Structure 1
Amino acid sequence: MWGRVRKSWSTVRDAFRTERDTGRQARSHNLFEAAAAYVSACAEDDQERIEEAAGWVSPEALSFGVNELACRAVIALARERDESPRAVARDLLGLPAA
């Protein structure tokens, strides 16, 4: 039983973190660091940084982190503009007001 629990935990942990071996001590990145680096590199159209950040965590973890970053950004912008998050999100995407 404990073997299954340990294996399941290992799978979950590996999905949220990978370590890169660059010949020196590897540094692990969390999914939020990866998401922040990935999104900022996309905004600056820096393909090298995009690929680097995408390699820090699994694709699933990166997707989760980018989604979380988008939610937090829309909420912060909505508070700043004193608008609803829905209105801000639609405006950012260039959609007509609902």
Structure 2
Amino acid sequence: MWGRIRKSSARLVDSMRIEEHTGRETRSHNLFEAAAAYVSACAEDDQDRIEEASAWVSPEALSFGVNELACRAVIALARERDESPRTVARALLGLPTA
């Protein structure tokens, strides 16, 4: 049973990858690489890099990766600040504490 789940998960991840041809080698990007590149490009307001990262995976996969990155970032900041993730998320968005 676990083998089937693992194979199914592997197929899902593989379907979310595209290959980039650079010279003689082929490199595939996964959704987390795409999300990291996309978010960092957005933070630096680099439209060329935003478009490049957006092309690496499907829009749905990119959305999932950005969401996962946001969750991990809020959790890391919450631990660093010794606050709840909710408090940190609201502070990052400039919302009043609830």
TM-score where L is the length of structure 1: 0.81
Structure 1 match to 2:63? 63
Q: How many residues are paired up?
A: 90
Secondary structure of residue in 2 paired with 1:38: helix
Equivalent residues in 2 for 1:76-95 (5 A)? 76-95=76-95
Amino acid at match of 2:65: G
Q: Which runs of 5+ in 1 are unaligned?
A: 1-7
CA RMSD of aligned residues (A): 2.0
Residue 24 of structure 1, CA deviation:
4.8
Structure 1 match to 2:5? none
Structure 1 match to 2:17? 17
Is contact 2:42-2:50 (8 Å) kept? yes
Residue 18 of structure 1, CA deviation:
1.7
Q: How far apart are the structure 1 equivalents of 2:22 and 2:79? A: 42
Secondary structure of residue in 2 paired with 1:19: strand
Amino acid at match of 2:37: A
Compared CA separation, residues 51 and 24, structure 1 to 2 (3 A): farther
Amino acid at match of 1:31: L
Structure number with the bigger relative contact order (C-alpha 8 A, sep ≥ 6) is 1
Q: Which runs of 5+ in 2 are unaligned?
A: 1-7
Residue 26 of structure 1, CA deviation:
3.1
Identity score, percent: 81
Amino acid at match of 2:29: H
TM-score where L is the length of structure 2: 0.81
Is contact 2:20-2:29 (8 Å) kept? no
Is contact 2:31-2:61 (8 Å) kept? yes
Q: How far apart are the structure 1 equivalents of 2:26 and 2:56? A: 11
